[in-house]
Every structure is written in structure tokens, then in C-alpha cells.
Amino acid sequence: SVIPSVAVALHATARGDRNGPTGTYSVAAEMSRDVANHLSANDVDVAVAYNVALDHGFGHSARDLLGGIDRYPLVPIFLNSASPPAPSFRRAATIGDVVGSFFDDRAERVLFVGTGGLTHHLPGFVPP
């Protein structure tokens, strides 16, 4: 399987791992595609995930902070921090700046939530 360094989801379900929620996220697919295009136009190599099962990092955050995985439209952006090679801190900050610039002139209220696997390694994500 392929685990991209950076991906934007157009459709996503919750894996339910680590006691996380299950179901379908409310993904703002058109906006997600626009964010992916913006990243690419700004020299960030990005994959588009057409149908991805997101893990507990997304599930717990959406459930606990937003009241559910389908309560608000989301633009799920995945930075691989579970298997090498992980993006450097500088690259992650650059990606965050580019994502932020996409939303600079938009009228919508936007909440940015960052969560990640910098403190653990999940089984199955590290190549043998």
C-alpha cells in the first residue's frame, strides 16, 4: 500500500480504531479539491484521497472538539507522521502556511485543528 506524505481527502469514513467514532465525515469535497490544487500550485506535492478511512487522530478530534464527525464540513489534510520518511517540521510548517493562505480571503469562519502521531508508532504503518 501507499502512504503519501501529504494528502487531502475528498470523501472519508472513520475507522473506529482506538475507541474512535465510526461513520462518514462531512467532507467539503469541492473545497478539499480547491485546497489540494492550491497546495500543488504553491509547490507542495500532495495526493488526493478519493475515499479514505481516517484513524483515531481525526475521529477523536472531530468527536471531542466539534461534537461529531459529521456535524460540520471538514477539509481533512493528512501529513504522514507514522511511517518514514515523515515530513520535517519545516516542511510541515510550510504546508500549514500554504493551507492558511488558501483561507486568508475567505468569508467562512475556519477552525484549524492539528493532531498527530509524533509520540507513538502504530503497528502496521512502519515498513518491515
CB 48, CB 6: distance < 8 Å: no
Q: Does the predicted TM-score (pTM) go above 0.85?
A: yes
The pLDDT, as a whole number, for residue 103 is 96
Averaged in consecutive runs of 10 residues, what is the pLDDT profile of the chain (128 residues)? Answer: 89 94 97 98 96 92 94 94 81 95 93 71 54
Quick check: is 120 catalytic? yes
- Catalytic choice (38, 56, 60, 121): 56
Predicted local distance difference test score (pLDDT) of residue 122: 54
Q: Which position among 38, 60, 120, 121 bears the catalytic label? A: 120
Taking the CA atoms of residue 73, residue 55, residue 34 and residue 72 in that order, the dihedral angle to the nearest 10 degrees is: 10
* Catalytic site includes residue 56: yes
pLDDT for position 18: 87
